[in-house]
Structure 1
Amino acid sequence: MNTYNQNKLHKRLRRLTGEAIADFNMIEEGDRIMVCLSGGKDSYTLLDILINLKISAPVQFELVAVNLDQKQPGFPEHVLPQYLESLGIEYKIVQENTYGIVKEKIPEGKTTCSLCSRLRRGILYRTATELGATKIALGHHRDDILETLFLNMFYGGKLKAMPPKLMNDSGEHIIIRPLAYCKEKDIAKYAEIKQFPIIPCNLCGSQPNLQRQVIKEMLNDWDKKFPGRIETMFRATQNITLSHLCDTNLYDFKGIKKGDIDVNGGDLAFDREDLPPMMGFDASELDDQDLILWKEAN
């Protein structure tokens, strides 16, 4: 990738991150943001973009990077401290032997992810309190959000995704996902350009999340065959018409009476909707190769 395209990629990630932060009021004056750094491409990119945005942001905020060393065999303990030292930012490495707990509690051959995730979450919440963090930033991106949406639909029977901003169950911590508008393939390119010291994610030896992998492959296949479909699907999560779904807890279907006027969606029950193939899609968001494919498809 030449310098022009590298700069374009950086500006796109920076712009989309800034838009997500503004849309959901993720960062406010005086915030102390705990950035969870796993050693993967997403969290490295998150920290890098937030450091960059901090320079010109309209509000003052602090960043503190946190990594949880779970004592997995082969974990390169020196990598993250060296990298963070080179950035000159505040950081904390939390050492907890969750790997040993998981191995003790979960029978051999069984999936360890659920228990490991709960343990990790509890430790990070505790660390946020100890550090006086007002927000916890995670590196989930647009593709993670869509994958979670389809996972819940296909396997959980829920119309539920991964929100860009939420309060934890206890009401003590606000979790933010500033990369919510960013594409995974853009993040992967950016991480390669920046040469982040990536730590492999398979150190625990557990099986991959096969259900999520199936969803990821499905979305990647759609993205190749129908450029723009992923963007349109993500916009759908921001454009919800409750009166045209089936949740009686969120919409008073029983209360509908003759003569009522519903301005939320209108009466389209018997209409044939002729949607253009890329309704609401801005082709300027595509890179050069994707733009070629999109023009061929349309």
Structure 2
Amino acid sequence: MSEELAKQQKTRLNKLQKRLRREMGRAIEDFNMIEDGDKIMVCLSGGKDSFAMLDILMNLQKSAPISFEIVAVNLDQKQPGFPEHVLPAYLSDIGVPFHIIERDTYSVVKEVIPEGKTTCSLCSRLRRGTLYGFAEEIGANKIALGHHRDDILETFFLNMFYGGKLKSMPPKLVSDDGRNMVIRPLAYAREKDIMAYADLREFPIIPCNLCGSQDGLQRQVVKEMLQDWDKHHPGRIETMFRSLRHVVPSHLVDTELFDFQGLQRGYAHGIADPDAAVNSVSTSQKAVPETIDILSL
């Protein structure tokens, strides 16, 4: 590599790191993801997203005004050909505490799911249960996942197209049993920035040959749709993601989200007591499953 090319790559790496660090910092602040004294279990799959998340989190940790602990955790699902030495070597080299959990979920998924059917749903549930339980074992009060802005948009359209719901992956949530808190520090980061950063940082990427290589996945179809929009309509992705942060319940059609029956003439927007209207709706909201495809790390 020439000296000039090396200089250009270093400059690009610095710019990407600053951008990802800024976006992660903003997401952490907006959703109060990390607090003083937190012990964060960073779920490392071996993919570009989780590598970038760990890298930027460790970078932020050095200059953060609060003190928090990071522990990297990988779930070895015993997939054939999985290079077991890669992650321990990498994590030891960068000096972060880590655990490798060994669970043969691969055999379970292959035994239960018929050949040719997608494995994501069962695989996700098995991973989620294992990771949630292990977080309690090590005393981690936050579980960090590597989902980014594009994942959030994809899940939004997946739920709308196939689930009949307007919902996505929230940047921060508490598990159904109330015992675990999940955070997604990359919620504002673009996938193409993460890809470029991973290439420049030369992370030892480990491909998933259980679900990532399946053809015809609904998520892949939606991903290609968004990529096509991004290519032919620059700025559309940013606008769509911005819409998820500016919801207007009174202009949708969910009677459990907004009190349409209680609207009255003579008041601004038809609401005599805005606080009462909000409270009456919130107490009647039904619990819904988290996402279609949770924990696609």
Alignment TM class, shorter chain as reference:
0.7 to 0.9
Distance in 2 (alpha carbons) for counterparts of 1:149 and 1:205: 20
Corresponding residue to 2:45 among 38, 53, 58: 38
Matched, 1:194 2:171: no
SS at match of 1:25: coil
Distance in 1, Cα, partners of 2:241 & 2:41: 27
Aligned residue for 2:141? 134
Give CA deviations for 1:239-273 in whole Å, capped at 9, x if unaligned.
11100000000100011112121299xxxxxxxxx
Among 13, 24, 29, the residue aligned to 1:6: 13
Counterpart residue identity of residue 114, structure 2: P
Superimposed CA distance per residue, residues 186-238 of structure 1 (whole angstroms, 9 cap, x where no aligned partner): 00000000000000122468624621111111111111111111111111000
Match of 1:104 among 98, 111, 121: 111
Query: Is 1:150 equivalent to 2:184 in the alignment?
Result: no
CA contact (8 A) 1:74 1:203 kept: no
- Runs of 4 or more above 6 Å deviation: none
1:119-140, CA deviations, whole angstroms, 9 ceiling, x for partnerless residues? 1100000110011001000000
The answer on 1:120 being equivalent to 2:103 is no
Among all aligned residue pairs of Structure 1 and Structure 2, give the percentage whose two residues are the same amino acid: 68
Q: Which residue of 2 aligns with 1:290?
A: none
| Higher relative contact order (Cα pairs below 8 Å, separated by 6+ residues) | 2
Shift of 1:109: 2.5
* Structure 1 stretch displaced more, 40-49 or 96-105: 96-105
Partner of 2:288: none
Instruction: Look up the SS of the partner of 2:189 in the other structure.
Output: coil
1:23 aligns with 2:30: yes
On the 8 A contact 1:111/1:206 being kept in 2, the answer is no
Shift of 1:28: 0.2
How far, CA to CA, are the matches of 2:214 and 2:17 in structure 1? 34
Structure 2 residues without counterparts, runs of 5 or longer: 1-7, 272-297
Task: Give distance in 2, aligned partners of 1:166 and 1:18.
Answer: 18
Query: Which residue of 1 is the match for residue 92 of structure 2?
Result: 85
- Tell me, yes or no, if the aligned pair for 1:141 and 1:180 is still in contact at 8 Å: yes
Q: Where does structure 1 lack aligned partners over 5 or more consecutive residues?
A: 265-298
2:211 is equivalent to residue 212 of structure 1: no
Q: CA deviation at 1:104?
A: 2.1
Residue-pair matches, total? 264
Higher mean C-alpha deviation, range 91-100 or range 109-118: 109-118
SS in 1 for 2:41: strand
Structure 1 stretch 35-44 or stretch 112-121: which is displaced more? 112-121
Instruction: Provide the secondary structure at the position in 1 that maps to 2:135.
Output: helix
2:72 pairs with 60, 65, 68, which one?
A: 65
Query: 1:181 aligns to what?
Result: 188
Inter-partner Cα distance in structure 1 for 2:259 and 2:210 = 49
Moved more, 22-31 or 214-223: 214-223
**TM-score of the two chains, using structure 2 as the length reference:** 0.86
Matches of 2:168 and 2:215, distance apart in 1: 20
- Cα contact 2:71–2:96 (8 A) shared by 1: yes
Q: 1:89, CA displacement in angstroms?
A: 1.1
Q: 2-side partners of 1:85 and 1:95: how far apart?
A: 18
Using the TM superposition, give the Cα deviation of residue 148 of structure 1 relative to its aligned residue in structure 2, in angstroms: 0.5
Aligned-residue Cα RMSD (Å) equals 1.5
Partner of 2:33: helix, strand, or coil?
A: coil
